């Protein structure tokens, strides 16, 4: 439709200006639709142009397109029909009165074709994670190309964009664009599409067209499944097969298939963090069997196979004649095997872990003879048969225990010949004997048994062991020890009153086993000597300060005992002085007493010197005078 404008419009920024002849002011010609005009290809375009010059005489259009114009005083319109040029221009011009030149405005006319037909093509809609897959977008006859933008999309996310900003192509073209996409787990169950945008803004519109969505599935089976199964299985027994595959995606949509010789097994499948496991049992019947594991995800399958082998190996039969026998008898041991396949077998016969020398009766039988000895009693006879397979040895065993009867036997460790007991404590003679059956043991002294041992029970005992196979005897010397006791502290010398200056000897009378150790506690230690075992103490040149309590303590492994005795040393000089003071008239008596004392003192000193000389020759120790009291 042709748009007619009966009035002039204010000039736009892109109009061409010239001075007006009438007023001398600048004026211009303006194409109202702008300097760049988009029109859909093969359609009609209407344009309007005005002049702001007052002396406009005429206005018109210049174009290579088919046109129909309408002119007014200072305006003109044109209708361009069937625009099929992709890139052209139009010029609006005005003739001014009294002017030699024309005033004009030029505008670019660009034909466009909006995107209508868009489709997306995926070579595969099931993609393996981390592999590259082409995605193709086909767009039919879109123009202009430099205004076109193509986006490869996943859901609302844009994966890749193609632009044509630097292209010189203006005519409509058919586009085929390919993007190589690395499949990801995030692609799973997502819609993929192509979006085409023709952006003619700000002069024109923004056109958008999108392909239909194509939903993609992605998967991952990155590892070859591993099978855990026995390489060898015995005929008639079940085999347990386990299969594991890691990194499966999506694990919840996958399954694991286990087969035995092509037959499906009833497997228990578990899934955890992208790892799938399957476990099942089956009974192979052929000599060779195949277990296969197949993770299945839609039409994607990875297969692993392992081969196992079936062997035949019967249990060995062990026969022991006279397993209950007397020492010295021969025991016959026979071990046999019913069948084995393959027939590569080895026999190993032992008694108590020690190898037996046997005769090979056949490939499947061994015969042994064992002279029964005391040491063989209760030992285990073992027949170990080995089936030797190419990469494994399988063993089976049969066993029996020997019962060898023999008479009693004593040993030093079980019945020591010298033993010690303690009086007053519960205890018996420790004596055991080997023998089968277990022997009865009895220990007597002079034909009598003793249960509560006293010191008088020390002596030699006869221990006898008896069973059905014989009697054995052994002498045992028993010592009964007891705790120490002190019967008295005896004053060996002097007898009677102890006077100052005399030598005093005390002896601690004690008994105990083992012999006790002696210890004395006395008032003073000077001029005191002890016997070698500390049982006797001697006070030389006894003084009044040696008077007091003398205590003897004895100790052995079973106890201790202590006894005290009071000793008094008398000073004769004090007695004499008391007598003189009491009888002042007895001067003669005093003189006689003094003489007697001096004589007695001289005798004592002479006797002490003789004793000192004797002690030096016997090793006794004389304690020096002047030391404080102590314990020895």
CATH number for the domain spanning 341: value is: 2.60.40.10
The kind and range of the H/E element at 295 are strand 288-297
Domain that holds residue 176: 118-219
Is there a contact between 34 and 15 (Cβ–Cβ < 8 Å)? no
Domain stop point among 355, 386, 401: 401
pLDDT tens for 573-600 read 877 776 667 655 555 555 655 666 676 6
b/e map of 13-33 (b: 16 or more CB within 10 Å)?
A: eebbebebeeeeeebbbbbbb
Domain-located, residue 488:
no
Q: Are residues 139 and 196 in the same domain?
A: yes
Total length of the chain: 632
Domain stop point among 368, 401, 434: 401
Domain stop point among 62, 87, 112: 112
Q: Are residues 65 and 186 in the same domain?
A: no
Domain count, the chain: 6
Average pLDDT over residues 448-464: 91
Whether the model clears a pTM of 0.75, i.e. scores above it, the answer is no
pLDDT range class, residue 8, cuts 50, 70, 90: very low
Domain-located, residue 517:
yes
pLDDT tens for 52-94 read 988 888 899 999 999 999 998 899 999 999 999 999 999 999 9
pLDDT tens for 199-235 read 999 999 999 999 999 999 999 987 789 999 999 999 9
More confident residue, 611 or 315: 315
* Weakest mean pLDDT among 96-100, 103-107, 247-251, 623-627: 623-627
The kind and range of the H/E element at 594 are helix 587-618
Average pLDDT value over all residues in the chain: 87
Q: Are residues 181 and 99 in the same domain?
A: no
Q: Are residues 244 and 366 in the same domain?
A: no
Domain-located, residue 175:
yes
Domain-located, residue 448:
yes
Q: Are residues 425 and 395 in the same domain?
A: no
Cα separation, 203 vs 196, in Å, equals: 19
The kind and range of the H/E element at 589 are helix 587-618
pLDDT for residue 625 is more than 80 = no
Q: Are residues 306 and 318 in the same domain?
A: no
Going from the C-alpha of 408 to that of each of 124, 405, 464, 474, the distances in angstroms are: 93, 10, 9, 11
Calculate what percentage of the chain has a pLDDT beyond 70: 88
Q: Are residues 632 and 507 in the same domain?
A: yes
Domain-located, residue 171:
yes
């Amino acid at each position: 439709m042709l748009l007619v404008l009966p009035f002039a419009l204010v000039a736009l920024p892109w109009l061409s200006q010239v001075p007006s002849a009438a007023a001398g002011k600048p004026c211009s010609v303006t194409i109202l639709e702008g300097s760049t005009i988009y029109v859909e290809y093969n359609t009609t375009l209407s344009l309007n142009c005005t002049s702001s010059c007052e002396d406009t005489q005429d206005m018109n259009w210049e174009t290579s397109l088919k046109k129909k114009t309408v002119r007014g005083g200072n305006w003109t319109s044109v209708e361009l029909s069937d625009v099929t040029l992709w890139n052209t221009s139009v010029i609006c011009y005005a003739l001014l009165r009294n002017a030699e030149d024309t005033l004009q405005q030029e505008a670019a006319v660009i034909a466009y074709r909006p995107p209508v037909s868009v489709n997306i093509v995926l070579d595969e809609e099931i993609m393996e994670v981390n592999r590259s897959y082409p995605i193709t977008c086909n767009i039919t006859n879109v123009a202009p190309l430099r205004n076109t933008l193509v986006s490869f999309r996943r859901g609302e996310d844009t994966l890749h964009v193609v632009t044509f900003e630097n292209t010189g192509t203006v005519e409509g073209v058919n586009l085929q664009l390919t993007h190589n996409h690395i499949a990801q787990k995030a692609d799973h169950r997502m819609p993929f599409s192509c979006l085409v945008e023709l952006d003619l803004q700000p002069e024109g519109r923004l056109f958008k067209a999108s392909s239909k969505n194509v939903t993609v599935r992605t998967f991952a089976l990155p590892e070859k499944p591993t099978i855990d199964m026995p390489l060898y299985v015995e005929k008639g027994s079940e085999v347990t097969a386990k299969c594991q595959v890691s990194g499966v995606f999506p694990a919840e949509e996958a399954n694991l298939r286990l087969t035995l010789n092509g037959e499906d097994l009833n497997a228990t499948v578990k899934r955890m963090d992208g790892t799938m496991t399957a476990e099942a049992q089956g009974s192979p019947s052929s000599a060779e069997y195949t277990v296969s594991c197949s993770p299945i995800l839609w039409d994607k399958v990875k297969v692993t196979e392992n081969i196992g082998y079936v062997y035949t190996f019967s249990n060995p039969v062990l026969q022991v004649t006279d397993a209950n026998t007397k020492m010295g008898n021969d025991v016959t041991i026979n071990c046999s095997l019913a069948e084995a396949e393959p027939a590569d077998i080895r026999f190993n016969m032992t008694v108590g872990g020690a190898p037996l020398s046997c005769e090979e009766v056949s490939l499947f039988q061994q015969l042994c003879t064992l002279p029964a000895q005391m040491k063989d009693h209760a030992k285990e006879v073992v027949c170990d048969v080995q089936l030797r397979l190419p990469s494994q040895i399988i063993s089976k065993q049969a066993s029996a225990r020997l019962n060898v009867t023999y008479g009693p036997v004593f040993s030093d460790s079980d019945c020591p010949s010298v033993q010690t007991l303690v009086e007053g404590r519960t205890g018996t003679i420790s004596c055991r004997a080997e023998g089968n059956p277990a022997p009865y043991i009895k220990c007597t002294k002079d034909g009598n048994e003793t249960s509560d041992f006293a010191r008088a029970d020390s002596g030699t005992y006869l221990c006898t062991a008896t069973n059905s196979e014989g009697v054995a005897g052994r002498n045992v010397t028993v010592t009964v020890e007891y705790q120490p006791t002190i019967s008295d502290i005896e004053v060996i010398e002097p007898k009677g009153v102890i006077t100052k200056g005399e030598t005093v000897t005390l002896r601690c009378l004690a008994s105990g086993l083992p012999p006790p150790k002696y210890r004395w506690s006395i008032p003073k230690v000077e001029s005191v000597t002890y016997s070698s075992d500390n049982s006797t103490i001697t006070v030389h040149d006894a003084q009044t300060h040696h008077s007091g309590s003398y205590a003897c303590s004895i100790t052995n492994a079973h106890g201790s005992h202590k006894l005290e005795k009071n000793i008094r040393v008398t000073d004769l000089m004090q007695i004499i002085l008391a007598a003189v003071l009491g009888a002042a008239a007895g001067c003669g008596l005093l003189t006689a007493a003094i003489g007697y004392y001096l004589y007695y003192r001289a005798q004592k000193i002479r006797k002490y010197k003789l004793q000192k000389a004797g002690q030096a020759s016997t090793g006794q120790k004389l304690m020096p005078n002047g030391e404080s009291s102590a314990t020895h």
